[in-house]
Structure 1
């Protein structure tokens, strides 16, 4: 089937990520369970991640014998996390994972190889995260990005959409670009361009390294591609990495491949990630999405990642934005993320909003000047990344710069605001 979107999460139902050393063991066990492998040869693997990606074929047929065991199905259903709805059918891949782990646990005295789903990711786009709203993306006449001051700045990595060669950005980044715009283009395509402008407003001397991991509508088929591009920054001389995207999981557990990528990246890279725009949801899981106002968003909620929520930078009190996660202890900092101004696409743009989990065109707007206002924790994260780059002067490392935050308009997420 491919990508499945269901209550509280999305995932690929035809792939499993597996510890590299245990790949052959897991493949043998799958074959013993009559699960058909799409490729009987060696699967795609990443030595940097220490993981392999096993492709499955016709999983429904493979798990049919498992479904004939009512005790197994009942145990698998019971083992699922509380956020699952009671009336939700047990997905084939969840049943397979449960049965696999049970077999390994019984055979090897409790030991189980590392196995997990491959999950899609998406932008943490403008407020709100779940349903569409008007008035959040508007054209403006500026601001201009400050010119370089002659002092070379640090390199800042951006994993996002492709970036538009905006006049203010030319010569200040390397990476995956949009060579030509053919209006109307989706507003989501301007995400990386907007993020880049915010970083350079704070750190005009920075050199940006942009890699496209999201498609032009802000999504990605799998976290494997994202994870391999994250870990590629290890040892690449990029001390700050901005990740303005994420995903939720219904069991509230971090996706295996994202967790592994962050772990393997090493201490020399400070990872800054958006915390999500779902703060206006309540304490109980939303009936449509399964999210609450404090649901962890990955990779932001991972240990070692700087998770950034948003406040209103136009408010001297730095009041937390309503869409920023509420009472979420994994959020570290709050930065401006309400009606921020930055570089954007030019010409006619199809403004996309999220309604009932889907992106729909709300309007077509002319962004003649190539600048916009937007809101979301994506842009709060970009402001933190830019501030870190600005603080890296006099030989200061990214970790040393991080130690000087909070400061100025970047504030700590207090217990009340969390």
Structure 2
């Protein structure tokens, strides 16, 4: 049993390595099955871990699967709330669109949630089919993308919008390496320079996922990618948040690659501290509020509840997780970008202005920026 998740019967191979290992892969029954750019997809029937062990990891990688880590089936579920949010219509001109790669947007009567209104942009393939259980209530992760987009928009004014790319499966809550990479490329081609990735996972030999890393390297240096650190309460880094595009040199700024910001969750219910569920460690760039975040969730009266249960679902919910901490940071950066600053400069301003959060680790204590909701 592997601790990383992957697409069964699929391997990703760099185009430059195909000639060297094609014969060996064929010996395992793996053959080319398409792919463009620097990566090729090979498919076969032998178990991926078995093939990788024989190859000793040289030249091939799983097509990793990333997911929504505990927030659907675990103990971090959306809960009803008596709170709601006031929709803010889009300005005549949207100055900034933050890219959100997630499950996509839930539509009702052909329209997004009222809170998102006309501030969210999407293609037909970026919408979500709600999967319902026997009780008629949603099963899986359909509401996640709408909630994340709403949390981003909460932090900014009417001149900030969201460009949704729907790649996470609405039932299983997982997305493959190649699909995420393609969405990143699409956003790059559209000129989006701020991207939110609210999902995570572990990888083969703790190596960066090939396709996503390659797509991040294709981004312009002024692009900022905000990624959730995961909800396993562990120190080990996860991906894509843990991707480093260049070695970290103290006191120096990497101006040749996009900036990837791993974001964990802070719990402000008492003295601010790292939330119990949040991953942590020296690889985290910032923490943000992540406990009982309010956001848009389906519509009033849905999901259905027992008659005596209070509060009722009113079109909004409270939800906890690093997904929403990342969305808060993305929204705060977008708000500063709307004043005319680049994504990288805006990110620097948001983190510099943040209050420090004291984090205790095996090596002692350190102070990390803690971004609060606006």
**TM class by smaller structure:** 0.7 to 0.9
Aligned to 2:166: 212
Aligned to 1:64: none
Which of the residues 229, 240, 243 maps onto 1:302? 243
Report the alpha carbon displacement of residue 194 of structure 1 after superposing the two structures with TM. Answer: 0.8
**TM-score for the superposition, normalised by structure 2:** 0.79
TM-superposed deviation, 1:240: 0.7
Give the aligned CA root-mean-square deviation in angstroms. 3.0
CA distance in 2, matches of 1:350, 1:301: 38
Normalising by the residue count of structure 1, what TM-score does the alignment of the two structures yield?
Answer: 0.71
- SS of equivalent to 2:206: coil
Structure 1 residue 218 displacement after superposition:
5.0
Q: For structure 2, list consecutive stretches of 5 or more residues without a partner in the other structure.
A: 107-111, 245-258, 360-364, 369-374
1:167 aligned residue: 114
| Structure 1 Cα separation of the partners of residues 25 and 175 of structure 2 | 24
Q: What count of residue pairs does the alignment treat as equivalent?
A: 333
2:180 is the counterpart of 1:226: yes
Matches within 5 A, 1:1-400: 6-31=1-26, 34-37=27-30, 39=31, 43-47=33-37, 50-56=38-44, 58-59=45-46, 91-98=49-56, 101=58, 114-126=59-71, 132-133=74-75, 137-148=79-90, 152-164=94-106, 165-175=112-122, 176-178=126-128, 183-186=136-139, 188-204=141-157, 205-220=159-174, 222-249=176-203, 251-279=205-233, 293-303=234-244, 304-315=259-270, 317-326=271-280, 328-346=281-299, 347-349=301-303, 368-400=313-345
Could you tell me how far apart the structure 2 residues matched to 1:186 and 1:366 are? Answer: 21
| Structure with max Cα Rg | 1
Q: How far is the alpha carbon of 1:411 from its aligned partner? A: 4.8
User: How far is the alpha carbon of 1:132 from its aligned partner?
Assistant: 2.9
Would you say the 8 A contact 2:71–2:77 is kept in 1?
A: no
SS of equivalent to 2:235: coil
Hey, what does 2:252 align to over in structure 1? none
Query: What is the CA distance between 1:388 and its match in structure 2?
Result: 0.4
Alpha-carbon separation, structure 2, partners of 1:138 and 1:269: 36
User: CA distance change for structure 1 residues 135 and 23 in 2, over 3 Å: closer, same or farther?
Assistant: closer
1:413 and 1:23 map into 2 onto residues whose CA distance is 47
Q: Secondary structure at the match of 1:15?
A: strand
Cα deviation 1:158-187 (Å, max 9, x = unaligned): 110121210121211121224778642126
1:205-252 per-residue CA deviation (whole Å, 9 max, x = no partner) reads 212111111111352352111122122222422111000001113632
Query: Segments of 4+ in structure 1 off by > 6 A?
Result: 179-182
Checking the alignment, whether the CA contact within 8 Å between 1:186 and 1:350 is kept in structure 2 is no
Structure 1 residues 278 and 229, CA gap change in structure 2 (3 angstroms): same
The superposition leaves residues 51-75 of structure 1 with CA deviations (integer Å, 9 ceiling, x where unpaired) of 111112x326xxxxxxxxxxxxxxx
